[in-house]
A and B are shown apart, each in its own frame.
Chain A
């Protein structure tokens, strides 16, 4: 799975890592039980501070996407808790995206098509 980090983006790097790992899990690129690189290895590969990667992993762990232990490092959780609802943060983010799309003249069908594509079967 390819992670794309934009160092000049307003989104903090740890958040970008977190977001792309979540997208990877959702799309199936990262499978349940799959081992993630160690904090040090990923930091070296990205050329960033280990604390940044550690923060991203910590966030993913808190949100229940990954599990970590001393022996096996970080792994994708086999069973991710399904809350069945969109978080308030994501809800307002979605509202912003839909609003911008409407203002840009994107047809509703196009937007729904995209949602279907990203959501999958």
Chain B
């Protein structure tokens, strides 16, 4: 399983790095609207200046290529790491480091280009804002029906899974009905579609860029850009819907973790294809309208490192990205600040989760009987079952002979803890190390089922003896 996870991570990292190399660090900068986060302009294309920019662009591209090669090599090494926990830890750490390191050449290149711009005596058009009166609020490419239909279709498997989990109907061969696992997984992806829908509307309402004094040119350019963005988002939504339908169909009749992983791989591949189609058309649009670009709004000063937009005078929340594709937020806007806080919070949460998982992996579990209570301990007393509550106790010697499906909790090579489905019975509480195969099955008078074990077979055996003599 961890090997599959490793390959998924490898594919993701490789795609993003290659995308960055050719899209964030392009060599043919004259065909682009932005050069390393600085708005391209006529003065840049004059012979002497163009030579200097060529040097900066080539240097940053070379640096980015070296980083890409190094990241590929490190990714290859990470594939050799054994164990899910170790893979998760090192891949997550690697992703964070890669995100930062891969942008270093961009930041350096941006800084060099801004210095060059200053040395040429070009002042940013600070505070100058161009608006085409005839375009205001009129250029849209996203038809609401095109995003509502897939979201409604995607909701059908979600509601079906929910009804199945609520036991409104039954399906032969479905062992996980009632666990809410299917509802949770496909519901998450359906919700992703909803979030993308909101993002699609945000992109469709983005400010129109003024590139020409001819309103028709501006309208066509902005409509083409918005149409391409709308197609990208509609594609994303349909991919999420297809994923929910296929995964739900699979889960309804046959549950397998491999099925889940396989569907996820296909989901991600389709996402990448969608992004590459978007990039292809975006390049075509930019190339098509480059010759007609005669007006320039220069707000370079508000782009920190050419990546983060911070303009307190601008009341807009979303703007077109300069590095990569899509939109970013104005971090001076209250909404932008919230997005920033959520982003940083998310990263800290991911790192915190890693530390927590590391603690769980490295802390052995223990099972003891004390004061007529069975106590399952790891970092804290996780489960305390009084003798009086126990209806029956049974000793088993191979937990792996059962079909164990995690619903909520921790499922590691050395730890199963939380809410699981065991042999089709949902709501079982597990607390054991599956590598130590012995376990105790406890059923309480209220009907709650526990599968518990200690850090060693001897510990489990001793606890069982004391439970039997309760």
A residues near B (Cβ < 8 Å) are 1-9, 21, 24, 30, 36-38, 40-49
Q: Does B129 contact A (CB under 8 A)?
A: yes
Chain B residues 125 to 139 lying within 8 A of chain A, measured CB to CB, are 126-138
Chain A residues with CB under 8 A of B215: 1-2
Residue in A6, A24, A46 whose beta carbon sits within 8 Å of that of B127 in the complex: A6
Residue of A nearest to B210 (CB): A2
Chain B residues with CB under 8 A of A21: 133
**When A and B form their complex, which 4 residue pairs have the shortest distance between CB atoms, in order from nearest?**
A41-B137, A37-B136, A7-B127, A8-B127
Chain B residues with CB under 8 A of A24: 133
Q: How far is the CB of B220 from chain A (nearest CB, A)?
A: 15
A9 to B126, CA, bound (A): 11
Contact call B134/A7, Cβ cutoff below 8 A: no
Residue of B nearest to A29 (CB): B133
Q: Does B316 contact A (CB under 8 A)?
A: yes
A8 to B311, CA, bound (A): 13
Given A2-B210, A9-B127, 6 further pairs, Cβ under 8 A: A1-B134, A7-B129, A37-B137, A38-B136, A38-B137, A42-B136
Contact call B133/A36, Cβ cutoff below 8 A: yes
Contact call A45/B127, Cβ cutoff below 8 A: no
B residues near A (Cβ < 8 Å) are 126-138, 205, 207-208, 210, 213, 215, 295, 313-316
Q: How far is the CB of A83 from chain B (nearest CB, A)?
A: 25
Chain A residues with CB under 8 A of B133: 1-3, 21, 24, 30, 36-37, 42
Contact call A3/B131, Cβ cutoff below 8 A: yes
A4 to B133, CA, bound (A): 10
Report if A41-B136 is in contact (Cβ < 8 Å); known contacts: A3-B130, A7-B127, A8-B126: yes
Report if A5-B205 is in contact (Cβ < 8 Å); known contacts: A37-B138, A45-B135, A45-B137: no
Chain B residues with CB under 8 A of A30: 133
User: Would you give 25 A-B contacts (Cβ < 8 Å), ordered by A?
Assistant: A1-B132, A1-B133, A2-B210, A2-B213, A3-B130, A3-B132, A5-B128, A6-B127, A7-B127, A7-B128, A7-B313, A8-B126, A9-B127, A24-B133, A38-B136, A42-B137, A43-B315, A44-B316, A45-B131, A45-B135, A45-B136, A45-B207, A45-B208, A47-B313, A47-B314
Residue of A nearest to B208 (CB): A45
Report if A2-B136 is in contact (Cβ < 8 Å); known contacts: A47-B207, A47-B314: no
Report if A6-B137 is in contact (Cβ < 8 Å); known contacts: A47-B314, A48-B315: no
A contacts with B: majority SS? mixed
Residue of A nearest to B316 (CB): A47
Residue of B nearest to A46 (CB): B131
Q: How far is the CB of B71 from chain A (nearest CB, A)?
A: 38
Chain B residues with CB under 8 A of A40: 137
Q: How far is the CB of B64 from chain A (nearest CB, A)?
A: 32
A8 to B132, CA, bound (A): 20
Report if A2-B126 is in contact (Cβ < 8 Å); known contacts: A44-B205, A47-B315: no
Chain A residues with CB under 8 A of B130: 2-5
Contact call B131/A5, Cβ cutoff below 8 A: yes
Q: How far is the CB of A82 from chain B (nearest CB, A)?
A: 24
Q: How far is the CB of B219 from chain A (nearest CB, A)?
A: 12
A42 to B129, CA, bound (A): 12
Contact call B132/A2, Cβ cutoff below 8 A: yes
Q: How far is the CB of A31 from chain B (nearest CB, A)?
A: 11
Residue in B126, B129, B138 whose beta carbon sits within 8 Å of that of A46 in the complex: B129
A8 to B299, CA, bound (A): 13
A7 to B314, CA, bound (A): 10
Residue of B nearest to A1 (CB): B133
User: Which residue of B129, B205, B208 has the most chain A CB atoms within 10 A of its CB atom?
Assistant: B129
Chain A residues with CB under 8 A of B210: 2
Residue in B129, B134, B138, B295 whose beta carbon sits within 8 Å of that of A47 in the complex: B129
Chain B residues with CB under 8 A of A3: 130-133
Q: How far is the CB of B380 from chain A (nearest CB, A)?
A: 51
Residue of B nearest to A48 (CB): B315
Chain A residues with CB under 8 A of B131: 2-3, 5, 42, 45-46
Chain A residues with CB under 8 A of B128: 4-7
Q: How far is the CB of A37 from chain B (nearest CB, A)?
A: 3
Residue of B nearest to A45 (CB): B136
Chain B residues with CB under 8 A of A4: 128-130
Chain B residues with CB under 8 A of A42: 131, 133, 136-137
Residue of A nearest to B215 (CB): A1
A104 to B137, CA, bound (A): 43
Q: How far is the CB of A21 from chain B (nearest CB, A)?
A: 8
